[in-house]
Amino acid sequence: MSPTDVWVDVPDTSVVVDLPNEAVVMISYDVSVSHITELEPEGVRVAEVSELSFRVVVDGSPYRQSATTVDDCEPLVAVASGYLVLEITRGPHNVRLQWRKRGTHVVKWAVASDVLDGFAGGRNMIVSAQHRFIWHTQPINAVSLLSVDKWEAVPGMVVRFRLLEAATVRFFYQLPMCMLTACCMFGADAAAYDEIETVLEVNGLRYRETGSYGIVEGAKKSTVQLQGSVIMNLVPGNGDRNDFLLFSGTLSSVNAFLAQVWYRSYLNWYGDDELRLKVADQGVTGFTAATTDEISVTIHIASVNDVPQLLVPTTQFFLEDQQISIFGVRVHDVDPGFPYSNSTFEIQLYVLSGVITLFTTAGVDVIEGDGVSDQIVRFRGGLRAVNAAIFELKYQPDTNFNSQQHVEQLGIRVHDFNYLDGTVTEAFKSILLEIQSRDDPVLMVPLELSTITIRGYAIQSSAGATGAAMLFARLFTMTPFGQIQFSRLSNTFSSSVSKLPEGDEPSSWIELSGPTEEVGAIVKSIVFSRAPTFYGYEVLFVRLSPLPDFSIVEDSSVQLGLHGNRSNNFFSNPIPYLYETSWTAKSISQLEGPRSGGTQVVVQGEEFPNDVALECLFGEAASPARFLSPTSVMCQAPMVDNETSQVPLKLTTNGQEFSQPFLFTYRGKFSAG
């Protein structure tokens, strides 16, 4: 589309209809449109926003009720849609869809099927004649919303109707909005964002499945399309979805009706509500006076931790060695809109071959990294604070890195911690970073398909737990081309251990379940490989849970960073190595104990370190050791079955080097009861 500020027909979207009778006609359209913008020098702000508007023209007359607008703040591909309901006479009619562009920042608006995966471009217009059961409102007068954090009815958007018989009814709405911020009106710059939400309310109840929301970012005007729908089965008359009921009848009919009364709270609301019931016995007319009784029932609506919604922009394109600012990353969650929600959000961002910098760290607690030039950064805070931190994300690729070497992406993971019910929900999305190559000098590099073995990852049971307790583990790599496998072959696992995927082929994820002791022994040695490029940045995530649904979890990660230098010597990222004084174990205080476990054993020796990694191994069963002094540590013998009589007892500080063994004898019989 090339003309500016001129209404023209959208190609191939005209419909000719011939009505045999006068009818109510509903017209709808959807257009998937993309835009190409002018490239501006870095630091230069665009003075105006380019817009593309649509409208429906019937028999040469345009209708504002059908209009909608998109702008260049939308993603690469945006869908414009609209509706129009008209009562038109019998005979032939012509229906056309028109569009108009404003602004000069967008070079061209187009409907093209060669965008993205080939299915992004398309347009349609539907004209249908409705003879009955259609109620609508489509006001054209301007309205505005100024209040904050308060639900208000949209003026003119109310429909009232009555059914004469049971029916399935579809409710839908569309609300094109122009959002004008104070900073846009008065010239101030801002990094904040504003949201507007809409929802349908049917018979006094709001339905979350009809909810819609839009966001305006910074100091710019933005257009937003708010729309939603729901299909419901309704019955005629009163008594369905009301906040007040008044009915009368015989004692048996009233009790039968009360037995079918149900309650539903407002959308996303939680807290204490009260149901009041009042009954009046009219007595026998003319003989006795009326009597009344009244009771109230408190209804407690528990908080449900809704899954956060993560909004991200589409693929980012830029040149090698160029820094880019990424806008449009937002976390949306309904829970903080209510009092006492006490929600905390944890954001984790990571890239492979570059670094990222947050917009600000004010109001958040940085757990990993420092928010400036990090390959991985993790922080916590309230919803507004974390959204302010990710308002602008600056990404700087490694020197001479481009997407021909390997796929680059910005991974974003958000955890929603709800302290009211103790639950955690999460969401994950990634942004593809397409880095165009430049004419760099040719370098000789070695074959990069390789593997490393990660050893020493220890799993320690909590207090009171035994090595026989079930443990569920998930291991997965940050990138889809990073792959892991265990050093031990799966055919050596006991029958109580299960693994997915089956077999021993490398995979980007592994699920393992079995007794804690056996699972811990398996994950002590993990083989990592990555192709086609081995060098770069990688994270191995480990999630542990005592429950199969992972409702209670403990997360940890292993960070890998492998880089090359000009001498073709390749090194991993630095890993701290601890030198410790040589120590010696000479004797133990107890040589035997019951099979039920619990025997306190003191190991005597010299130069014991005061280290939390101290462990005693009774055979293959590990038991934490407590430092008493440089010459003594104490540990507790674990429980064993009736088949075990004697085991070697050894002391270790790192799980790899052990003291000389001491023979420990189990006596008696163990009884589970």
pLDDT value, residue 110? 83
State mean pLDDT over 125-146.
Answer: 81
The predicted model gives 500-515 an average pLDDT of 90
Structure confidence at residue 75 as a pLDDT band (50, 70, 90): low
Position 111 scores a pLDDT of 82
Residue 507 has pLDDT above 70, yes or no: yes
Burial class of 658 by CB neighbour count within 10 A (0 to 12, 13 to 18, 19+): middle
- Model pLDDT for residues 177-212, shown as the tens digit of each residue: 776 655 444 444 445 567 888 988 887 777 878 888
Q: Is the pLDDT of residue 2 over 80?
A: no
Beta strands in 353-478 (DSSP E): 354-357, 365-368, 376-381, 392-397, 408-418, 423-436, 450-455, 470-477
- Compute the average pLDDT of residues 545-556: 82
Segment holding 255, helix H or strand E: helix 251-258
Asked whether the predicted pLDDT for residue 653 surpasses 50, the reply is yes
Show Cβ contacts of residue 437 under 8 Å, excluding neighbours closer than 6 positions.
320, 402, 403, 404
Q: In the structure encoding, which two tokens stand for residue 310, read together?
A: 């993560």
> What is the distance between the alpha carbons of residues 250 and 245, in angstroms, rounded to a whole number?
16
CB 403, CB 363: distance < 8 Å = no
Architecture of the domain spanning 450-572:
Sandwich (2.60)
The predicted structure's pLDDT at residue 131? 54
Assign 512 a pLDDT band (cuts: 50, 70, 90): very high
Domain ranges of the chain: 1-134, 140-237, 239-301, 309-436, 450-572, 584-667
Residue 234 has pLDDT above 50, yes or no: yes
Q: What is the dihedral of CA 72, 73, 75, 78, to 10 degrees?
A: -60
> Which tokens belong to 273?
């509500």
584-667 maps to CATH 2.60.40.10 = yes
The pLDDT of residue 185 is 43
The length of the chain is 673
| Start-end of H helices in 90-192 | 182-186
Tell me: the pLDDT tens digits for 583-633?
889 999 989 999 888 899 999 999 888 876 788 998 888 888 888 898 999
* The pLDDT of residue 468: 73
First-last CA distance in the chain: 82
Q: Which residue has the tokens 């030039």?
A: 373
Sole residue written with tokens 């906040």: 243
pLDDT at 65 over 80: yes
Residue 444 has pLDDT above 70, yes or no: no
What pLDDT band is residue 32 in, cutting at 50, 70 and 90? Answer: confident
Residue 291 has pLDDT above 60, yes or no: yes
Evaluate if residue 114 carries a pLDDT over 70: no
Q: What is the pLDDT of residue 544?
A: 87
- Long-range contacts of range 654-662, CB-CB < 8 Å, 24 or more positions apart? 654/456, 654/613, 655/456, 655/458, 655/524, 655/613, 655/615, 656/455, 656/456, 658/617, 659/584, 659/585, 659/603, 659/605, 660/585, 662/585, 662/587, 662/588, 662/591, 662/603
* CATH architecture observed for domain 1-134: Sandwich (2.60)
User: Which has more pLDDT, 179 or 54?
Assistant: 54
Mean of the pLDDT values across residues 452-461?
A: 74
Measure the CA–CA gap between 256 and 552, rounded to whole angstroms: 44
For 291, how many CA atoms within 13 A lie in the half-sphere containing its CB?
Answer: 5
Please say if the pLDDT value at position 536 is more than 50: yes
Q: What is the pLDDT of residue 579?
A: 62
CA–centroid distance for 575 within its chain: 32
| SS3 state at 575 | coil
- Judged by average pLDDT, the poorest of 159-173, 203-217, 312-326, 457-471 is 457-471
CATH number of the structural domain 309-436: 2.60.40.740
- 351: tokens are 């890239």
Tokens standing for residue 652:
């270790």
Q: What is the pLDDT of residue 283?
A: 60
Higher pLDDT, 671 or 85: 85
Highest mean pLDDT among 17-26, 216-225, 637-646: 17-26
Q: How many CB atoms lie within 10 A of CB 640?
A: 19
Please give the pLDDT value at position 413. 92
pLDDT of the residue at 364? 93
Of the given ranges (84-98, 113-127, 157-171), which has the lowest mean pLDDT? 113-127
Round the average pLDDT of the chain to a whole number and report it: 80
Per the omega criterion (within 30 degrees of 0), is the bond before 20 cis?
Answer: no
**Better-predicted residue by pLDDT, 110 or 270:** 110
Do 450-572 and 584-667 show the same overall fold?
A: yes
Q: Is the pLDDT higher at 389 or at 271?
A: 389
Q: Regarding beta strands 8-19 and 91-102, do their DSSP bridges make them parallel or antiparallel, or are they unpaired?
A: antiparallel
Rounded mean pLDDT, 211-227: 70
Share of the chain above pLDDT 90, in %: 18
Rounded Cα–Cα distance for residues 528 and 524 (Å): 13
8-state DSSP, 387: H
Place of tokens 């420092």: 370
**Lowest-confidence pick of 37-46, 256-265, 564-573:** 564-573
Give residue-wise pLDDT tens across range 15-25.
999 988 888 89
625 within 8 A of 634, measured Cβ to Cβ:
yes
pLDDT reported for residue 184: 45
Report pLDDT for 96: 95
Q: Using an 8 Å Cβ cutoff, are 167 and 133 in contact? A: yes
pLDDT at 360: 93
Query: For position 566, what pLDDT does the model report?
Result: 41
Give the count of beta carbons closer than 10 Å to the beta carbon of residue 345.
22
Are residues 412 and 329 in contact, defined by beta-carbon separation less than 8 angstroms?
Answer: yes
| 387-432 residue pLDDT tens | 999 999 999 998 888 887 778 899 999 998 876 667 788 899 999 9
What tokens were used for 159? 């429909």
Lowest mean pLDDT among 92-96, 269-273, 316-320, 529-533: 529-533
- Average pLDDT score over residue span 149-153: 84
Q: What is the pLDDT of residue 612?
A: 62
CA distance 527 to 486: 6
The answer on pLDDT for 572 being more than 80 is no
Question: What pLDDT sits at residue 568?
Answer: 45
**Residues 338-363: tens digit of each pLDDT:** 555 667 899 999 998 899 999 999 99
